[in-house]
Amino acid sequence: MLTTFFVLAVLFAVLLYAFSPETPASRGTTILASFIAILIGGLLIMVFVLRWLLRPYQRLVDEAERASVKSDLMKSKDEAEFVLETFQTVVAQLQEQRKELELLSAEARERATSAEKFSERIVASLPSGLLAFDGGGHSIAVNTPARRLLELDGTALGVSFEKLFAQQEDLLKMVSDCLKSGTLYRRSELETITPQGQQRWLGATVAPIELPPEGGPHGALCLLTDITEVTELREQVALKRNLENLGEMSAGLAHEFKNAVAALHGYAQLLQSLELNEKAQGAAASLLNEVRGLSTMVTAFLNFARPQPLQLEEVSIAELVDDCVRDLQTLYNDLRVELQIKVDQALIVGADERMLRQSLLNLLRNAAEAIPEDKTDRLVSVCGVRENDYQGKSWAQIEVRDTGTGIPPAQLQKIFIPFFTTKPKGHGVGLALTYRVITQHGGTLTASNNASGGALFTLRLPM
Asked, for residue 290, whether it belongs to a domain, the answer is yes
Tell me the residue type at 206: V
Identify which of 52-56, 191-195, 221-225 has the greatest average pLDDT. 221-225
Average pLDDT over residues 72-92: 66
- CATH number of the domain enclosing 147: 3.30.450.20
Q: Answer with the one of 31, 51, 67 that is the final residue of a domain.
A: 67
Together in a domain, 44 and 160: no
Residue 76 pLDDT > 50, yes or no? no
Helix 317-335 vs helix 353-369: angle between axes, to the nearest 10 degrees? 30
pLDDT at residue 194 greater than cutoff 80: no
Task: Label the pairing between strands 219-226 and 338-343.
Answer: unpaired
Same domain, 222 and 140: yes
Within this chain, do residues 372 and 447 fall inside the same structural domain, yes or no?
yes
Q: How many whole angstroms separate alpha carbon 178 and alpha carbon 158?
A: 18
Q: CA 301, CA 282: separation in Å to the nearest integer?
A: 29
Average pLDDT (174-183) is 86
Same domain, 51 and 163: no
Is residue 280 scored above 60 in pLDDT? Answer: yes
CATH no. for residue 290? 1.10.287
> 203-261 pLDDT, tens per residue?
888 888 876 665 556 788 888 888 877 777 777 777 777 766 666 666 666 666 777 77
CATH number at residue 449: 3.30.565.10
| 250 and 381 both lie in a single domain | no
Indicate yes or no: pTM above 0.85: no
Q: How far apart are CA 399 and CA 461, in angstroms?
A: 12
Is 253 found in the same domain as 238? yes
Q: What digits encode the pLDDT tens for the residues 222-231?
A: 888 888 777 7
Q: Mutual orientation of helices 228-273 and 278-305 as an angle, nearest 10°?
A: 150
pLDDT over 60 (residue 48)? yes
Closest CA to 456 of 402, 414, 378: 402
Q: Please tell me the predicted confidence (pLDDT) of residue 2.
A: 67
> Do residues 140 and 210 share a domain?
yes
Q: Using one digit for the tens of pLDDT, what is the confidence trace for 106-126?
A: 888 888 777 767 666 666 666
Buried b (16+ CB within 10 A) or exposed e, 95-131: eeeeeeeeeeeeeeeeeeeeeeeeeeeebeeeeebbb
Could you tell me how many residues make up the chain?
463
Instruction: Check residue 401 and give its pLDDT.
Output: 92
Distance separating the N- and C-terminal Cα atoms of the chain? 111
Residue pLDDT, tens place only, 127-159: 678 888 888 888 888 887 887 877 776 667 788
Give the residues across from 401 on adjacent strands: 381, 456
Q: Is residue 103 part of a domain?
A: no
Which of 202, 226, 250 represents a domain boundary (last residue)? 226
For residues 200 and 337, state if they share a domain. no
**Residue that finishes a domain, picked among 67, 94, 110:** 67
Sign of CA dihedral 59, 64, 66, 67: positive
- The Cα–Cα gap between 93 and 255 comes to 103
Do 239 and 221 lie in one domain? The reply is no
Same-domain check for residues 257 and 320 = no
Is the pLDDT at 445 greater than 80? The verdict is yes
Total structural domains within the chain: 4
Read off the DSSP letter of residue 28: H
The verdict on 261 and 288 lying in the same domain is yes
- Most confidently modeled range among 110-114, 308-312, 431-435: 431-435
Task: Report the pLDDT value the prediction gives residue 24, as an integer from 0 to 100.
Answer: 61
Any domain includes 84: no
Distance CA 188, CA 205 (A): 6
User: Quick check: 105 pLDDT over 80?
Assistant: yes
Mean pLDDT, range 370-398, rounded to an integer: 88
Between strands 379-388 and 338-343, the pairing is parallel
Nearest to 352, CA basis, from 319, 310, 394? 310
> What is the C-alpha separation between 266 and 14, in angstroms, rounded?
168
CA dist 53 and 246 (Å) reads: 112
**Residue of 315 and 147 predicted with greater confidence:** 315
d(CA 47, CA 218): 70
Q: Does 240 map to a domain? A: yes
| Structural domain for 62, as ranges | 2-67
Cross-strand bridge partners of residue 338: 379
Evaluate whether 307 touches 440 at the Cβ level (below 8 Å): yes
Asked, for residue 452, whether it belongs to a domain, the answer is: yes
Mean pLDDT, the chain, as a whole number?
78
Query: Order of strands across the sheet with 129-133?
Result: 139-142, 129-133, 219-226, 199-209, 185-193
Residue 367 within any structural domain of the chain: yes
Q: Where are the beta strands (DSSP E) in 292-393?
A: 313-316, 338-343, 348-351, 379-388
**137: in domain:** yes
Same domain, 9 and 36: yes
For residue 382, the one-letter residue type is V
Q: Is 243 exposed, middle or buried (0-12, 13-18, 19+ CB in 10 A)?
A: buried
Give the integer Cα–Cα distance in Å for 340 and 124. Answer: 41
**Position 11 in a domain:** yes
The whole-angstrom separation of Cα 1 and Cα 6 is: 9
